Amino acid sequence: MIRSMTGFGSASGVFAGRTLTVEIKSVNNRFREVVTRMPKICAPLEESIKKQVAARLERGRVDLWVQLDDRELKKKALRIDFEFAAELKKQLTELKERLELSGPVTLDHLLNLGVVSQEEDSPALEDLWAALSPLVNQALDGLVTMREAEGRNLAEDLEKRLAHLSACNRRVEELASSAPDVLLEKLQIRLSELGAGVKVDQSRLAQEAALLADRVDITEEVVRFASHLARFGDIISGTEAAGRRLDFLLQEMGREVNTMGSKAQDLEVTGLVLDIKAELEKLREQVQNIE
């Protein structure tokens, strides 16, 4: 089943008493590009998150947001170095006496010299990842579900266009099969108009018509185009990522149709070729949305 590259998913949970939210949005892109936006506390987990996304999505521009109020997580713990403070007071007192300075050694003196410090008590990355990873997967589940639903709509549209192309190709095949007889008839009419009463060697005329018919024969192109249509149908009903393969197949189909158009000597065939080209362009636009 084909999938669109457009989708959205989100999930929320609780970590350390705070709400943790993951949102993922994807749009069309020739390749896979993952862009993350998250609090600084989650930054060390960025590569792990990108690997998680890459395991689920083949193509598309993917924007992933992680929201977490981490102010409570960064608790400041006071640390007092009592031994350093005692030694510092002793040395400051000695210095004051040697220099014959007045006034006592105060707490402000000790604080200014760094006897008290603050330490951040950040959560362990393992605990944060244990809470975040399942939410990323849940958000991806929602996004993939949306992409699959859109993919089903795309598949229905593509199948209708394939049916129309097949009908056009069958009509071209019918006209191509009668081309030699039509050319022979046209040559006979043209010769009769150019020289009334002139005797014409019918075997030579048939030979010339056959040579001309061979130069404008589009049987091979019609057969290959039908094969490409069948392959196209198989791909969109398969389970693997299809976008790149369908894009390549459309290029091959375009070459076959261009050759048909350059060889065509029949106005109806020319009209059908133009119709096929227009339909292929619509297919190409739709395929750009497929993963």
> Which pLDDT score is estimated for 113?
72
**Rounded to whole angstroms, how far apart are CA atoms 31 and 286?**
16
Q: 161 in a domain, yes or no?
A: yes
Highest mean pLDDT among 36-45, 90-99, 105-114: 36-45
- Could you give the number of structural domains in the chain? 3
Residue 102 has, within 13 A of its CA and on its CB side, a CA count of 0
Same domain? 217 vs 136 = no
Per-residue pLDDT reduced to its tens digit, 178-205: 655 666 566 556 656 555 555 656 666 5
CATH assignment of the domain containing 57: 3.30.230.10
Q: 1 in a domain, yes or no?
A: no
In 101-251, the DSSP E strands lie at 116-121
Q: 67 in a domain, yes or no?
A: yes
Same domain? 171 vs 224 = yes
Q: 38 in a domain, yes or no?
A: yes
User: 0.85 cut: is pTM over it?
Assistant: no
Q: 265 in a domain, yes or no?
A: yes
Same domain? 82 vs 47 = no
> Which pLDDT score is estimated for 209?
56
Whether pLDDT at 140 is above 70: yes
Whether pLDDT at 165 is above 90: yes
> Which pLDDT score is estimated for 148?
93
Whether pLDDT at 60 is above 90: yes
Q: 173 in a domain, yes or no?
A: yes
**Rounded to whole angstroms, how far apart are CA atoms 150 and 6?**
8
Same domain? 92 vs 136 = no
> Which pLDDT score is estimated for 240?
80
Same domain? 114 vs 227 = no
Q: 197 in a domain, yes or no?
A: yes
Higher pLDDT, 267 or 181: 267
Query: Structural domain of residue 268, as residue ranges?
Result: 151-287
**Rounded to whole angstroms, how far apart are CA atoms 246 and 232?**
7
Whether pLDDT at 160 is above 70: yes
CATH assignment of the domain containing 261: 1.20.140
Same domain? 130 vs 203 = no
Mean pLDDT to the nearest integer, 44-64:
95
Same domain? 90 vs 174 = no
**Cα 64 to Cα 28, 132, 162, distances in angstroms:** 15, 12, 36
Same domain? 51 vs 155 = no
At residue 65, φ and ψ (nearest 5 deg) are -115, 135
**Rounded to whole angstroms, how far apart are CA atoms 245 and 216?**
30
Q: 2 in a domain, yes or no?
A: no
Same domain? 188 vs 262 = yes
**Rounded to whole angstroms, how far apart are CA atoms 14 and 21?**
8
> Which pLDDT score is estimated for 106?
80
